[in-house]
Amino acid sequence: MRIPLACLLLLSATVLSQDANPGYIKFINQHINGQMRADRCDHVIRTRQITKTDSNECKETNTFIRATTNLVKPVCGLAGEPYGQLTKSLRPFDIVVCTLKSQGRYPNCQYRGQARTRKIAFRCENGLPVHYDRDIVYFEN
């Protein structure tokens, strides 16, 4: 089966433009880390330069999802369900919640990390996660 070059180029451009979405790229930087550990909050937040929006103040809380983008992205589709204006995962994810210990300025932020298993809720745009909103306690049946 032969795929015309124009179709192949169009498909490639579509995939690349999705992944070039600035909100999605920021979401990945701030919230995706498959190897995250609770004792690595300070280092990862400093390395990724995560701060309050448009400032050099330490972010109060930042949550890392211990998964790949290939597992998180489908929550904006069949692996998620409406949750008010957000989308909620159908299944729980392992996460690390980093909470600021004391007020400070980047890069001198110190966090306390806590590992949890929760469903997650975020805002999706064009089928991609762009804003992490919260984790949701779930109870198995």
pTM: 0.83
Helix (H, G, I), strand (E, B) or coil at 23: helix
Q: Mutual orientation of helices 5-19 and 22-31 as an angle, nearest 10°?
A: 50
**What is the per-residue pLDDT for 53?**
84
DSSP state of 73: G
Q: Is the torsion defined by CA of 64, 70, 72, 73 positive or negative?
A: positive
Query: Would residue 131 show up in a list of annotated catalytic residues for this protein?
Result: yes
Instruction: Give the residues across from 32 on adjacent strands.
Output: 65
Residue whose token pair is 């979401």: 27
**What is the per-residue pLDDT for 120?**
97
Which among 26, 37, 46, 131 is annotated as catalytic? 131
**What is the per-residue pLDDT for 137?**
87
Domains parsed from the chain with CATH numbers: 22-136 (3.10.130.10)
Which among 27, 28, 30, 31 is annotated as catalytic? 31
- Residue 133's contacts (CB-CB under 8 Å, 6 or more residues apart) are 86, 121, 122, 123
Query: Would residue 31 show up in a list of annotated catalytic residues for this protein?
Result: yes
pLDDT along the chain (141 residues), means of 10: 40 48 96 97 96 89 97 97 96 97 86 97 97 87 57
